[in-house]
């Protein structure tokens, strides 16, 4: 036990904070939810009452009334850059829901700010926190030789949210507020869903995408629903990535990444947290959750934030791969809109490393 718990403010009192972040924090023995911030007073007060915390309209108001060590930001995508930047500048460690930001410039700014200020910045890529992800990452880096090609697929039913957002439909039976997924708020399949797979790719390989050519389908909406792209990574590997929010009810989502190397292959099922490593000698190694371990642990990022702040674990979803995924999504959408191959913006060099050239 620590001398005192990590004091956490939650910014955004929507369904994800209500169903996952706050329960995870309340269940952590070394965390305390001290404030819930939301511009909608009823939402802030309702969740704050459940957490036994202060209700505030925004983080500045919360900081004026209570001591905070870390902040969880679960708000529309378009708000991430400003909110994360303000939290970092206030000396706080941060968990922000994916995507880290909507543009490479904004994502890179947050990376550099966190590194300059010495703050932890965790991105809400839940899939990176399961045991299978760690096994995939280790195998990709150490067992399958040089990376040759990658195949990525991430399908979901998020298209229903995009339709509801465009047509002004109110919250659904799960308490989700579709307006958060509108074009104005940075909705669309690439920003909302495909970012999971691209974040995993950049984290597992420790590489960035270099060039992208792409097509998208919008089904008459103002945001992308179907995405398909071919890409080249900076290390020379090629790949394809597809994603769709139009998976029909009754059809299982498919969320896979396949890494082909010179000495083996890794097949990663993000949806089921399963990994199979195919070795050059024909043997296989399987990794999958235990019988009583859920494949998708939605509360894991909030718990991880507390453990990262306490120095108990490394950041499982660090900002550099998350920023690389933002740059990849931005390039994909630009390539589709402009009908050309687009160069992906490169990450800024780490502190103390001079850029090449």
Residue 292 banded pLDDT, cuts 50, 70, 90: confident
Secondary structure element (H or E) that encloses residue 304, with its range: helix 300-309
Looking at the structure, tell me whether residues 30 and 113 fall in a common domain. yes
Residue 138 banded pLDDT, cuts 50, 70, 90: very high
pLDDT at position 123 is 98
On the CB side of 82, CA atoms within 13 Å amount to 8
Q: Is the pLDDT of residue 1 over 50?
A: no
Q: Which domain holds residue 142?
A: 127-291+318-343
Looking at the structure, tell me whether residues 18 and 91 fall in a common domain. yes
Q: Is the pTM for the entire model greater than 0.75?
A: yes
Residue 278 banded pLDDT, cuts 50, 70, 90: very high
Q: How many CB atoms are located within 10 Å of the residue 164 CB?
A: 19
Asked if 189 and 224 touch (Cβ cutoff 8 Å), the reply is yes
Looking at the structure, tell me whether residues 256 and 188 fall in a common domain. yes
For 66-102, write each residue's pLDDT tens digit. Answer: 999 999 999 999 999 999 999 999 999 999 999 999 9
- Name which of 179-193, 199-213, 290-304, 332-346 the model is least confident about: 290-304
Q: What angle do CA 274, 107, 316 make, to 5 degrees?
A: 35
Asked if 272 and 295 touch (Cβ cutoff 8 Å), the reply is yes
**Domain CATH for 49:** 3.40.50.720
Q: Is the pLDDT of residue 226 over 60?
A: yes
Q: What is the DSSP letter of 77?
A: G
pLDDT at position 308 is 98
| Number of structural domains in the chain | 2
For 2-61, write each residue's pLDDT tens digit. Answer: 478 999 999 999 999 999 999 999 999 999 999 999 999 999 999 999 999 999 999 999
Whether residue 155 lies inside any domain: the answer is yes
Using the 3D structure, point to which of 57, 92, 126 is the last residue of a domain.
Answer: 126
φ/ψ bin of 156: left (φ > 0), alpha (ψ from -120 to 50), beta (otherwise):
beta
Looking at the structure, tell me whether residues 228 and 339 fall in a common domain. yes
Q: Is the pLDDT of residue 107 over 80?
A: yes
Looking at the structure, tell me whether residues 270 and 338 fall in a common domain. yes
Of the candidates 130, 124, 75, which has an alpha carbon nearest to the alpha carbon of residue 97? 124
For 264-276, write each residue's pLDDT tens digit. Answer: 999 999 999 999 9
Which tokens sit at 291?
């019988």
| Rounded mean pLDDT, 118-131 | 96
Using the 3D structure, point to which of 126, 152, 184 is the last residue of a domain.
Answer: 126
Using the 3D structure, point to which of 104, 126, 148 is the last residue of a domain.
Answer: 126
């Amino acid at each position: 036990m620590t001398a005192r718990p990590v004091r956490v403010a939650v910014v955004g009192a929507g369904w994800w904070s209500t169903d996952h972040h706050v329960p995870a924090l309340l269940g952590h023995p070394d965390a305390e939810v001290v404030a819930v911030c939301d511009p909608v007073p009823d939402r802030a007060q309702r969740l704050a009452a459940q957490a036994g915390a202060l209700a505030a309209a925004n983080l500045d108001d919360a900081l004026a009334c209570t001591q905070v060590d870390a902040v969880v930001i679960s708000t529309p995508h378009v708000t991430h850059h400003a909110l994360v930047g303000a939290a970092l500048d206030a000396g706080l460690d941060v968990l922000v829901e994916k995507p880290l930001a909507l543009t490479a410039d904004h994502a890179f700014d947050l990376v550099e700010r966190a590194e300059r200020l010495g703050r932890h910045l965790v991105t809400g890529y839940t899939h990176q926190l399961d045991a299978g992800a760690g096994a995939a990452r280790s195998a990709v880096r150490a067992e399958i030789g040089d990376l040759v090609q990658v195949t990525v697929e991430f399908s979901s039913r998020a298209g229903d949210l995009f339709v509801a957002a465009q047509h002004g439909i109110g919250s659904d039976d799960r308490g989700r507020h579709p307006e958060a997924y509108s074009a104005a708020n940075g909705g669309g399949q690439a920003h909302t869903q495909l970012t999971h797979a691209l974040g995993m790719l950049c984290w597992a390989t420790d590489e960035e995408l270099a060039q992208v050519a792409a097509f998208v389908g919008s089904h008459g909406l103002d945001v992308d629903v179907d995405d398909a792209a071919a890409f080249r990574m900076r290390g020379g590997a090629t790949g394809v990535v597809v994603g769709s929010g139009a998976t029909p009810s009754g059809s299982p989502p498919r969320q896979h990444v396949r890494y082909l190397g010179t000495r083996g292959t890794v097949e990663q099922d993000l949806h089921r947290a399963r990994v199979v490593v195919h070795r050059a000698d024909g043997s296989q190694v399987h990794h999958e959750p235990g019988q009583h371990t859920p494949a998708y642990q939605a509360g894991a990022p909030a718990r991880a934030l507390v453990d990262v702040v306490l120095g108990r674990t490394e950041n499982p979803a660090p900002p550099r791969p998350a920023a690389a995924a933002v740059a990849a999504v931005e390039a994909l959408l630009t390539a589709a809109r402009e009908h050309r191959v687009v160069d992906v913006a490169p990450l800024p060099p780490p502190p103390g490393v001079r850029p090449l050239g």
